[in-house]
């Protein structure tokens, strides 16, 4: 039987993009929805165009700073936890190398290797880089690629700002105090685009993803507009 030596095409997996993709899409969607909803709520209360724009810029700055700080604190806590786990592993490798070796072998055996092969693999990896092996297979992360809080904070602030600037630009582009339609249309288009792009990068269904954020964002804007209208007419 003739062997097929034709090289297989490279497999383009998507799951490794999950963390940064989720953060980027969340930032853009959050920026668009929160800022447009804020502006529509203020606009529904019969505010002037300058007040609506002021609310939009304030929402952009406040939201971007909030996203940055929240992400920085969260990722810093994750990095601290990773460093603490690595310190524990370093001490254990010095104090009890045989026990750590047995622990690693048990992990590989639990994944399907027979006892002898699991032991051989564990020994080889311990000889090469014991800490890296335990970080990867016991703790679940790369010891040379820890969480980066500053990078995460900047990415969150930037993605939020990209989304938040859309309703502001829509308001600036159209004269008059009642700019409901431009804000809504521009924001919904942005949400649909960001959802579709996120699905494309992540390998998901583009239309379903766009529809999710389109409907959710539209509902948020409608509710905020209604509340702003009720408050504006009752005060």
d(CA 37, CA 180): 10
First to last CA, the chain: 85
CA 207 to chain CA centroid, Å, is 20
Neighbour-count burial of 5, counting CB atoms closer than 10 A to its CB (0-12 exposed, 13-18 middle, 19+ buried): exposed
pLDDT of residue 14: 44
Local structure of residue 9 (DSSP, 8 states) = P
Report in angstroms the alpha-carbon separations of 10 from 13, 14, 200.
Answer: 9, 13, 18
Q: Taking the domains of the chain in order of start, what are their residue ranges?
A: 20-234
pLDDT of residue 208: 83
Instruction: Give the tens place of pLDDT for each residue, 62-111.
Output: 999 999 999 899 889 988 998 898 899 889 888 888 888 888 889 888 88
Assign 141 to helix, strand or coil: coil
pLDDT of residue 177: 54
Low-confidence residues of the chain: pLDDT under 50? 1-3, 7-8, 11-18
The pTM of the full predicted model, rounded to 2 decimals, is: 0.74
d(CA 214, CA 234): 30
pLDDT of residue 16: 43
């Amino acid at each position: 039987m003739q062997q097929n030596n034709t090289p297989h095409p490279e497999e383009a997996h998507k799951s490794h993009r999950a963390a940064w993709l989720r953060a980027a899409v969340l930032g853009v969607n959050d920026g668009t929805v929160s800022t447009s909803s804020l502006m529509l709520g203020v606009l529904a209360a019969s505010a002037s165009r300058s007040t609506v724009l002021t609310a939009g810029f304030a929402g952009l700055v406040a939201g971007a700073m909030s996203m940055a700080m929240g992400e920085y604190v969260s990722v810093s806590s994750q990095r601290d936890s990773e460093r603490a786990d690595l310190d524990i592993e370093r001490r254990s490798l010095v104090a009890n190398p045989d026990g750590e070796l047995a622990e690693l072998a048990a992990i590989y055996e639990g994944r399907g290797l027979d006892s002898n092969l699991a032991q051989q693999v564990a020994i080889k990896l311990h000889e090469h880089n014991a800490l890296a092996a335990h970080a990867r297979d016991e703790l679940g992360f790369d010891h040379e690629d820890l969480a980066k809080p500053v990078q995460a904070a900047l990415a969150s602030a930037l993605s939020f700002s990209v989304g938040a600037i859309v309703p502001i630009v829509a308001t600036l582009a159209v004269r008059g105090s009642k700019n409901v339609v431009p804000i809504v249309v521009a924001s919904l288009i942005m949400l649909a685009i960001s959802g579709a792009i996120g699905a494309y990068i992540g390998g998901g269904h583009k239309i379903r993803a766009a529809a999710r954020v389109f409907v959710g964002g539209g509902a948020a804007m409608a509710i905020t507009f209604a509340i702003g209208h009720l408050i504006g007419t009752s005060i």
